[in-house]
Structure 1
Amino acid sequence: SELLEVINSRILPDRQSSQDARRVDNGIAYSIRARVLLYNASPLNNAENDRSKWQRAADAAQDVINMSSYQLVSMNDYKRLFIGAAATPVSEIIWRAWSDNSHINNTNGVNVGAYPFASINNMWNCGESPTQELVDCFEMTNGALPVSYKDASRTSVNVNPAAASLGYSEETGGDPYANRDARFYVDIVHNMTNYGVPYNCTQPYIIETFVGGRNGFNDVISQETQRSCTGYYSRKDKQIKYWGPGGSSGHEPTHWVFFRLAEFYLQKAEALLELDDLSGAMTALNVIRERALQPKLQNVPGFVNSKDFIRDRIRNERRVEYCLEGQYRFDDQRRWKVLNETNRFITGMRITKG
């Protein structure tokens, strides 16, 4: 109610100018209100499944969406959500940190310091290491999830035939990374990724996560502190230009984003689903899917028009859209009361060179 009083008083602009972007505005107030109402409607805080709470969460999400000051960026500009000068407006960002966090964000564990002519030697330790479970959440371009797990250990999988039809294979000579959701290539560094050209260098840095590769992990995981133990590195808010001679001054700033518009389309989808509006939920969800160049949910292989199926895919979409962006995944698991189901095993991909 206090946030509504502030919003309705009109003492704040809907969006601050670029010069005052660090100051509070109505976009931030609406966003805080919406997120609080979503958490309040979720199973952790809504054991009785009070539908009025879900309705308030849906309405609050729509209030943010209705603000004309904010629009989703295209997939071509997706990286700009995380990299760029703080004073440069990005239409989707509602609130982000003003300071440049490149010294933290760019140290993802990739030892670019060993690259010929690159600088900042020894300034690398393994930070965020995406898990195989996260990688498995990124769909194929036809909307199929690549695998299902044979057992609780998640070390043995069944390949989805719809994924295999696009070339997915974990067999010798196969490629499990081709034809994936466009966000996969923005977010994840995998074996043989072209990471780009370090600042003031001429050749691209190719990632080698296979055993024995320059970025491959130590088989004795307890002794490994610098390289990824999953076979993956984070890329979402990383840029290769940070590395190389003069790179610490030649890169673009990176920032932590606290609120962006995509969150509220996904909130609307989740809330409408719990209100049994399956069509409305998919319409909201598809806005985010289509921005990522993915097919509408109703067009994915194996689609089932059921609440359980759609709920699973909304939750998967949140995991993909907001991966490696801080607290979202933990908060979601906690408010859905699924931590005892999800936080059991962490696996990776061990690749050997033939």
Structure 2
Amino acid sequence: AAQDVIALSTYQLVPMADYKKLFIGAFATQVDEIIWRAWADNSHINNTNGVDVGNYPFAGINHLWNCGESPSQELVDCFEMTNGALPVSYNDATHTAVSITPEAAALGYSEATGGDPYSNRDPRFYINIVHNMMNYGVPYNCSQPYIIETFVGGRNGFNDVISQETQRSCTGYYSAKDKQIKYWGPGGSAGNEPTHWVFFRLAEFYLQKAEALCETGDLAGALTALNVIRQRANQPILQNVPGFANTQDFIRARIRNERRVEFCLEGQYRFDDQRRWKTLGETNRFITGMRITKGTDGKFSYQRKKIRDYQSYTDKYLVMPIPLEDAKKMTSLLQPAPWQ
């Protein structure tokens, strides 16, 4: 079925230079990659003319709104270096102790004081993730670029999750995927651009095809489909990444990582993927963030920090219970076994 959609030639992957347009374009704009989308206005989101002010990066400069999505350090770790290497491996169960891969270190990755863990990453990292000292462009009604400060005491963070303050990130990151810089300035306004939610785009079908072929043992076919998405992102084909192994386990793991990167912060992709892969016990116990402090010498220090424990990691959460109100109406209908 995925191949049938690809073969239609009705839809085309947009080039990387236009990737951001998949998520911030006005609804009336035609985007060749999008298969199904829905108009998003103030009846769908906490909206002011196309801007979701309940999910606003770093609460706006004036901190009038909530900060919205705060990407986890685990998500950030999924974005490869430009040579295809994953930056770190975890040394403990809480992901707070890591080993930097040699190939990442060779490109300058460092979490030591004065180091830089954000340069030379997959281009999608900079489209999706707002990170410390990022130049995010010139907002509306401003003359200078807006530089992100997620370090402790910086204008955009860091927030201790225990405080329950909702205007600053508790992970050290903000979502950039569907956000527009022009609305973030001190004189910025929400404009008048109702936008869209993307439900299906062509990239989904390439990665569905890659996963299906991998699971049925056609590793060559899986690599071909996967590499279409990787090459669009200007990342090396999987066969050329450090440590490549032509095995089902290796290719499966990297297909899953590719899905996490390509579709991060888009709807329920991750929610559904974890359940059909039955990986909640591995991926949904807790999240971590990066607590950054700035020394008097201007150098940054990096500390991985566990932010929150979750209880929804057992197999019980692979299925959904029947809503209580419905169960009351249909007393002979039993809840799924884990919920009885």
**CA distance in structure 1 between the partners assigned to 2:84 and 2:145 by the alignment:** 31
Q: CA deviation at 1:90?
A: 0.6
Q: CA deviation at 1:266?
A: 0.2
Name the amino acid aligned to 1:247.
Answer: S
- The answer on whether the counterparts of 1:186 and 1:235 sit within 8 Å (CA) in structure 2 is yes
Please state if 1:112 is matched with 2:60. Answer: yes
Please tell me the root mean square deviation across aligned C-alpha atoms, in Å: 1.5
Structure 1 runs of 4+ with >6 Å offset: none
Please state if 1:153 is matched with 2:94. Answer: yes
2:177 match? 236
- The answer on whether the counterparts of 2:223 and 2:238 sit within 8 Å (CA) in structure 1 is yes
1:247 match? 189
Please state if 1:93 is matched with 2:34. Answer: yes
- C-alpha distance 88-342 of structure 1, shift in aligned 2 (>3 A): same
Q: What is the aligned residue count? A: 287
- The answer on whether the counterparts of 2:56 and 2:68 sit within 8 Å (CA) in structure 1 is yes
Give the secondary-structure state (helix, strand or coil) at the position aligned to 1:217: coil
Please state if 1:318 is matched with 2:259. Answer: yes
**CA distance in structure 2 between the partners assigned to 1:112 and 1:225 by the alignment:** 12
Give the secondary-structure state (helix, strand or coil) at the position aligned to 1:88: coil
Paired residues for 1:270-281 under 5 Å:
270-281=211-222
**CA distance in structure 1 between the partners assigned to 2:224 and 2:95 by the alignment:** 32
* Uncovered stretches (5+) of structure 2, i.e. residues with no partner: 42-46, 296-340
**CA distance in structure 1 between the partners assigned to 2:137 and 2:57 by the alignment:** 16
Q: CA deviation at 1:253?
A: 4.3
Q: CA deviation at 1:246?
A: 5.2
Paired residues for 1:289-304 under 5 Å:
289-304=230-245
Give the secondary-structure state (helix, strand or coil) at the position aligned to 1:158: strand
Give the secondary-structure state (helix, strand or coil) at the position aligned to 1:249: coil
- The answer on whether the counterparts of 2:35 and 2:201 sit within 8 Å (CA) in structure 1 is yes
- The answer on whether the counterparts of 1:221 and 1:229 sit within 8 Å (CA) in structure 2 is no
Name the amino acid aligned to 1:269.
Answer: A
Q: Which stretch of the first structure deviates more once superposed, 325-334 or 91-100? A: 91-100
Give the secondary-structure state (helix, strand or coil) at the position aligned to 2:99: strand
- The answer on whether the counterparts of 1:95 and 1:260 sit within 8 Å (CA) in structure 2 is yes
**CA distance in structure 2 between the partners assigned to 1:131 and 1:161 by the alignment:** 23
Deviations 1:227-268 (A, max 9, x none): 000000000000111234352116x54321001000000000
- The answer on whether the counterparts of 2:57 and 2:179 sit within 8 Å (CA) in structure 1 is no
**CA distance in structure 2 between the partners assigned to 1:223 and 1:323 by the alignment:** 24
- C-alpha distance 156-326 of structure 1, shift in aligned 2 (>3 A): same
Q: CA deviation at 1:220?
A: 5.9
**CA distance in structure 2 between the partners assigned to 1:91 and 1:319 by the alignment:** 22
**Higher strand residue share:** 2
**TM-score of the superposition, structure 2-length normalised?**
0.81
**TM-score of the superposition, structure 1-length normalised?**
0.78
